[in-house]
Amino acid sequence: MELPAPFLADRAAVDDAQALIRDHGEEAGFAAAARAEQYRVLGNHIHFARWRQIERLITYLSVDSALDTIH
C-alpha cells in the first residue's frame, strides 16, 4: 500500500489525533473531518488545514500493516 506520511507541524497534532482516536475509536477520522469542515465554514483556513492534516494522520495510524521500510 502506498500511503504518504502526513505532514506534522508540531507534537500537538499527534496529541489531538490520539485524543480523537481514544474518544471516538473508528469514527475518529470523521470527527476530525467534521472539525475541519466547521473551520472551513467559518473561513478559518489555518485551523481547517490543521484538522485536515490530523484527519490524514488518523488514517495513517489506522493502517495495520507496515507502510514503509522496517528497520
Tens-digit pLDDT profile for residues 2-18: 667 777 888 999 999 99
pLDDT, tens digit, 9 for 90 and up, residues 46-60: 999 999 999 999 998
What's the rounded Cα separation, in Å, for the pair 67 and 31?
24
Residues 17-39 have a mean pLDDT of 97
Phi-psi region of 8 (alpha: psi -120 to 50; beta: other; left: phi over 0): beta
- Percentages helix, strand, coil for the chain, rounded to the nearest 5? 70, 0, 30
The residue-averaged pLDDT of 21-32 equals 96
Compare 36 and 71 and report the one with higher pLDDT.
36
pLDDT at 69 exceeding the cut of 70: no
Give the pLDDT of residue 8: 83
Place of cell 490543521: 50
